[in-house]
Amino acid sequence: MPKILDGASIATAIKQEVGEEVKSLAARGVRPGLAAVLVGHVPASEIYVRNKVRACAELGLYSDLITPPDTVTTDEMLTLVAGLNARDDVDGILIQLPLPHQVDAKALLDAIEPVKDVDGFHPVNEGRLLAGRPALAPCTPAGIIEILKRSGIPIAGQHAVVVGRSDIVGKPVAILLLHQNATVTICHSKTRDLPAVTRQADILVAAIGRAGFITPEMVKPGATLIDVGMNRIDTREEFDRFFKGNEKREAAFAKRGSVVMGDIDPKAFEISGAYTPVPGGVGLLTIAMLMANTARAAKLRRGL
């Protein structure tokens, strides 16, 4: 039987560690602070940011939720970011994406002080990450490394294949795996004979954003599968393709009219050695690592 890599328990452990770190910093007169900027009213983003603010409260971090209207301009947002950069009570700045079409997201992310860039998206942090220097790493890739390490999955000497080359997940997780002494291959839409490459993977990271893209024929038996995808299935045809006969999923589909699944066909999990489920896997680590990055930013800013 393959091992299920439980994102919930690992996220809980990381949050407990952050909570202890926050208490230690409080004893030195420091309270880490996170400013979350949520533009307009996007229901999914509102839920996500609300969970982040709740996590701050649970762990003793200060949080400030800022909600500009969806008519805000790039210049107004740049002024807002400049103000947050100058605030000593703010150690981390989070700008929830996506932003309205009239706002230059790249300009805003570049305007955040690198030491307050808790999402790890600033070019300075990207460069430091590549060079193996102290940096705030993107939360999801950092969470993937924590899942592997805390689950006892060997990384050094393993062949890791990453499917997807985004700046948010694919590229940074490849760099982090390389720093852990894995041999890393990055695949993308132009990769020739993709199944031949993925079948070489001891660790296969799927971050391409297509439901069930990785099929059993693309997986080496016994491999560790890390599923970063979060795709909504809302048609009966798609549901039956992946979950026909799955009573638990059937009940969820009947109740909500949709289910969430990753980039890996669930049938591939059956031949793996270990895998992260969706939901219940990588996604739960993102907020935990954001809290960890905020505490780390508080220390880096003060030279602690």
Tell me, what's the pLDDT at 48?
Answer: 84
* Same domain? 178 vs 78: no
The Cα 5–Cα 58 span in angstroms is: 24
* Same domain? 55 vs 102: yes
* Same domain? 93 vs 152: no
**Does a structural domain hold residue 2?**
no
* Same domain? 97 vs 160: no
**Does a structural domain hold residue 294?**
no
Task: Please provide the DSSP assignment of 68-132 as one string.
Answer: --TT--HHHHHHHHHHHHH-TT--EEEEPSP--TTS-HHHHHHHS-GGG-TT--SHHHHHHHHHT
Total tally of structural domains belonging to the chain: 2
Residues 6+ apart with CB under 8 A from 23: 60
Alpha helices in the chain (DSSP H): 7-26, 43-59, 74-86, 105-111, 123-131, 139-150, 170-179, 194-198, 236-243, 247-256, 266-269, 283-302
Catalytic option among 52, 171, 180, 263: 52
The pLDDT profile of the chain, 304 residues, written as one tens digit per residue, is 999 999 999 999 999 999 999 999 999 999 999 999 999 887 778 888 889 999 999 999 999 999 999 999 999 999 999 999 999 999 999 999 889 999 999 999 999 999 999 999 999 999 999 999 988 999 999 999 999 999 999 999 999 999 999 999 999 999 999 999 999 999 998 999 999 999 999 999 999 999 999 999 999 999 999 999 999 999 999 999 999 989 999 999 999 999 999 999 999 999 999 999 999 999 999 999 999 999 999 999 998 8
**At what angle are helices 247-256 and 236-243 packed, to 10 degrees?**
160
Q: Give the CATH number for residue 160.
A: 3.40.50.720
| Domain of 228, in residue numbers | 139-284
**Does a structural domain hold residue 7?**
no
The Cα 221–Cα 188 span in angstroms is: 22
The verdict on whether 52 is a catalytic residue reads: yes
- Do 32 and 61 touch, CB atoms closer than 8 A? yes
Catalytic option among 15, 91, 96, 265: 96
Tell me, what's the pLDDT at 97?
Answer: 87
Tell me, what's the pLDDT at 304?
Answer: 82
Tell me, what's the pLDDT at 134?
Answer: 87
* Same domain? 80 vs 190: no
The verdict on whether 106 is a catalytic residue reads: no
* Same domain? 218 vs 268: yes
Tell me, what's the pLDDT at 265?
Answer: 97
| Residue the block writes with tokens 């150690």 | 91
Tell me, what's the pLDDT at 132?
Answer: 92
187-214 pLDDT, tens per residue?
A: 998 999 999 999 999 999 999 999 999 9
Tell me, what's the pLDDT at 42?
Answer: 79
Catalytic option among 91, 117, 119, 227: 119
The verdict on whether 96 is a catalytic residue reads: yes
